[in-house]
Amino acid sequence: MISADQLKELISNIDNYESDLRDIFLNNLNDDEILNPELINSVLDEWGMTLGIDISAAKEWLQEGNENGVEEINYQYGSISYHQAKPIL
């Protein structure tokens, strides 16, 4: 498990990793420059690999965006039928 000191160090150095993380994000975009929902998982996994931390807790946290009181980041969504939402895939 990651220690508090490691996390502090990571937060202070996170700006150094921003370009790498951005590249990972951009590499996973589709032709319409949208990130497909199934690729969010792999983007976060790759971020975790780059930073050397376990990302599973972050995934859960990000999905509960509403409950965490982060208004500008609304990751939570309800039941979705992809059949009708096909154009974005």
Does residue 52 belong to the site contacting other proteins (CB under 8 A)? no
Q: Which residues pair with 29 in a beta bridge?
A: 35
Rg for the chain, CA atoms, rounded: 15
CB of 68 to other proteins, least distance (A): 8
Give the angle subtended at the CA of 88 by the CAs of 29 and 64, to the nearest 5°.
75
29 backbone dihedrals φ, ψ, rounded to 5°: -75, 150
13 CB-contact burial (10 Å; exposed 0-12 / middle 13-18 / buried 19+): exposed
Does residue 71 belong to the site contacting other proteins (CB under 8 A)? no
Q: Which is nearer to other proteins, 49 or 68 (CB)?
A: 68
Q: Which of 27, 42, 50, 66 binds other proteins (CB under 8 A)?
A: 42
The contact set with other proteins (CB under 8 A) reads 1-4, 7-8, 10-11, 14, 18, 21-22, 25-26, 34-44, 47, 57-63, 65, 68, 70, 72-75, 77-86, 88-89
